Structure formats: C-alpha cells, structure tokens
Amino acid sequence: MPNPPCKILINPDELFASRDLRLKDRGESGYPQLMRLCTNFDLSVLQLQRKIFSHLSRKIVPGTLEFVLATHDESTNCWYSVTPALPSLKVLNDYAKRYEVDLLHMHLFGDEDDDYNQFQEGGLY
C-alpha cells in the first residue's frame, strides 16, 4: 500500500489531460468511500494523464491514467492532491478507506507541515 496521505500541488504543466469525475453527481455505488468523501467533504476525484517523454519517438506522449483524491483552493485556483496517484478507482477507494482519518484531518485542519512553515516564516523559530 502506498504512503500515508500528504498535500501536493498538481502542476497543470505536467499534465497531458485531466478531468474531474464528479462522483457526487451520479449514483456511483461501486466506490462508497469516494462518494462519501466527495459528497460530504467537498473533495474531488481527478483522473490525470501526465506528460512523459518518449525516447523512441523523441516526443511528449500521454502517460498511463492515474486517479487522485484532490481538493481545490478557491483563492489560488490550484488543485492539490491529498493522495498518491493510484492506477484505478478501486485502489483509490481502498486507499481512502484505509487512510480516512488522516485524509479528513488534513482536509479539515490543514497539513502539519503548513503550520510549521507558517511559524518559521514569521520568525518564531
């Protein structure tokens, strides 16, 4: 199983394509954990396809599809991944179930590193 959740900026320049799956708009019963997090806590499931460089064709080509649970910052209009990139919705649903408490703590109360960095920039350390 991948590492515990952490908040990471999703850089749009690294993406070939992306889309929000909008699990809160449809009756997607196959992924109940993701549905609950999206509906009750305003998180989103994003399908990402990163840019990779092909040494054979010497061009940028689309990578494999990956799925993340993400949050959108309205003030900066940036997306932040709160889970690692996973290969399928089932694996993402299982990850969300296993790390539900950590994900909700980070989403509702912020990242512990953000608090530390804020104090350090302010000159308290």
For residue 92, what are its two tokens? 């993402």
pTM of the model: 0.79
Edge-to-edge strand ranges of the sheet holding 8-9: 8-9, 78-81, 59-73, 44-54, 15-20
The mean pLDDT of the chain is: 83
The string of pLDDT tens digits covering residues 56-78 is 888 888 889 999 999 998 888 89
Return the pLDDT at 118. Answer: 47
Q: Which residues of 69-92 are buried (b: 16+ CB within 10 A; e: fewer)?
A: bbbeeeeeeebbbbbbbbeebeeb
Mean pLDDT, rounded, for 15-19: 88
Residue 87 has pLDDT above 90, yes or no: yes
CA distance 52 to 77: 25
Structure confidence at residue 17 (pLDDT): 86
